[in-house]
Amino acid sequence: MALLDMEYIDRLMDDGVRRALRRERVFRDRGNPLDVLDDLQLYERYRLDRQGIMDLTEMLDDVLRRATNRSQALAPSHQVLIALRFYASGAFQITTGETLNVSKSSASRAIRRVSLAISTHLNKFVYYPTEPADITCVRVQLQAIAGFPGVLGVIDGTQVKVKGPRRRECEYVGRKGGHTMNVQAVALLDGTFSNVLVKYPGLVHDSRIFRESPLYRDLQAGRKQGLLLGDLAYALSTFLMKPLPNPVTDPEKRYQKAFLTTRATVERTFGQLKGRWNCLHQELRYSPPRCCAIISACVGLHNFATRRHMPPFPAVDDPEDLAEAVEVDDLLNAAAPDGKVKQQQIIRQYFND
């Protein structure tokens, strides 16, 4: 798919805002973009295809109708379109609202309702396979990248800029000075996330988030089997492998190459997530709970689009994430002895020749 002309789209949005500000604030006609825009225009603006928008609306219909059970309420389809436009553009609510001819307050409510509807049912969008054949397929696909065995996913954290809250503001100051949320996720080869945790402020290290996560408890208790691949921000264990600090021997170098090649999966997937939903690459000017709901919704919708093989948008790289991994290495990574033993076993068994 050709690169999208986002500058052109933004110009249209800006023109719409200027026209709206000159008009008196009255009840506006709620035209439906599904009836007006062609397929490409719809995909460029809302980042889901026509069928995807209709299916998503159907999935959320009951929840959104219960939340807006009053006269003149926005239809679920309009609420979904408003939220999608906000996720896609990161624009202020007035821009989002004027796009669909509704007020700023109505747009704000729509974004909140759709975000909560998706985030509270996130297990419908973000999940790890449960069938043995599907689990085996995931591991085979990941091992086929570079020969790293037994991988159930690649874990990392990504920073999302947020408005500094009034309470506990200092906890949200990331290592580059801005306010952020630290989002943990596990990526698979198909470009989806199998696990996501969105609740920690930017100051919290990746390693602590993982140690306090339900995923960590499942792996520690043996309820999930296999290996996660993490960067230098994580502690080595029997269920999490990381790069070697200084590979010297040929087997160690082969391990390192296979590890880094496979681990690129999560960096690529985060880039695609932020490329589709541009609000994650800008500052979310909301309270932490609302930011968490928006971020979770974007992750869920990323999976929704990817599983339906919708074309990706140009990926967005975030150098802050890589810088953090190196920065916290010496602070948090006291590896368990059995983790080192497991790592050496993998090197000997799979990378010795």
Phi, psi of 226 (to 5 degrees): 125, -175
Place of tokens 């985030």: 119
User: Last residue of a domain, which of 104, 120, 136?
Assistant: 120
Please give the pLDDT value at position 10.
47
Q: Strand 151-161 to strand 227-229: parallel, antiparallel, or no bridges (unpaired)?
A: parallel
Domains held by the chain: number? 2
- What is the per-residue pLDDT for 2? 43
Same domain, 25 and 89: yes
If DSSP codes are grouped into helix, strand and coil, which group holds residue 33? helix
Among 66, 99, 120, give the residue marking a domain's end: 120
In a domain, 1, yes or no: no
**Per-residue model confidence (pLDDT) at position 55:** 98
The Cα 180–Cα 163 span in angstroms is 8
Q: Is residue 270 part of a domain?
A: yes
* pLDDT attached to residue 13: 43
Q: Which of 98, 120, 142 is the last residue of a domain?
A: 120
Q: Are residues 152 and 97 in the same domain?
A: no
Do 175 and 234 sit in the same domain of this protein? yes
Same domain, 289 and 333: yes
Same domain? 323 vs 189: yes
Residues 48 and 108 in one domain: yes
> What local confidence, expressed as pLDDT, does residue 93 receive?
63
Identify the H or E element spanning 157.
strand 151-161
Q: From the first residue on, what is the mean pLDDT of each consecutive set of 10 residues in the chain (353 residues)?
A: 44 45 40 90 97 98 81 85 95 68 88 97 96 94 97 97 91 88 98 98 96 98 96 96 96 98 97 97 95 99 98 83 50 71 97 90
**Is 267 contained in some domain?**
yes
Within 10 angstroms of residue 32's Cβ, the number of other Cβ atoms is: 12
317 with 302, same domain? yes
Whole domain around residue 303: which residue ranges?
124-350
Is 105 part of any domain? Answer: yes
Listed in sequence order, the residues at least 6 apart from 158 whose beta carbon sits closer than 8 Å to its beta carbon are 182, 183, 185, 270, 274, 318, 321
Angle, vertex CA 128, rays to CA 195 and CA 311, nearest 5? 80
| pTM, to two decimals | 0.87
